[in-house]
Amino acid sequence: MNVTSPLTDTELVDRFVDTTLPATAFSHAQHVRCAWLFVRRYGMPRALEEFPAALRRFANAKGATMLYHETITWAYLLLIHERQERQGAADWEMFAAANPDLLTWQPSVLDSLYRPETLWSEVARKTFVMPDWGK
């Protein structure tokens, strides 16, 4: 898993937001990095507005409109925010090193929070669904 990128933080966010970043350059780790950068830039709850809007725009531009998933997006933003608040990582490399579970797509950190039928439901795709407590 590659957590570094030849792009600076600013270049990554700018190219993500203006959709010029190639889809092939937007791995799961880069999704998480962008989300972390939005949390750092905007704070919460504004990141919950800005990042999903940018992600939808990016998905639409790449012909992947149906891949956007609200629960996954919000859950990662919330996890990133909580961990950043606890750890106070000074930069992406430090955050990534302290949170390898967030950078692994399969299995996902969300697998411990959601039953598959909950996470992959249509309602979870369209709106944030709370975790399956006591799963």
pLDDT averaged over every residue in the chain: 94
Q: pLDDT tens-digit profile of 24-56?
A: 999 999 999 999 999 999 999 999 999 999 999
Query: Would you say 92 and 3 are in contact if contact means Cβ atoms under 8 Å apart?
Result: yes
Residue ranges of domains in the chain: 9-126
* For residue 131, cis peptide bond before it (omega within 30 degrees of 0): no
The pTM of the whole model exceeds 0.85: yes
Distance, CA of 106 to CA of 31 (rounded, Å):
14
User: Tokens for 104?
Assistant: 């692994």
Its sign, for the CA torsion 21, 12, 46, 75, is positive
Which single residue is written with the structure tokens 């697998």?
Answer: 111
Query: Would you say 13 and 36 are in contact if contact means Cβ atoms under 8 Å apart?
Result: no
Q: pLDDT tens-digit profile of 72-127?
A: 999 999 999 999 999 999 999 999 999 999 999 999 999 999 999 999 999 999 99
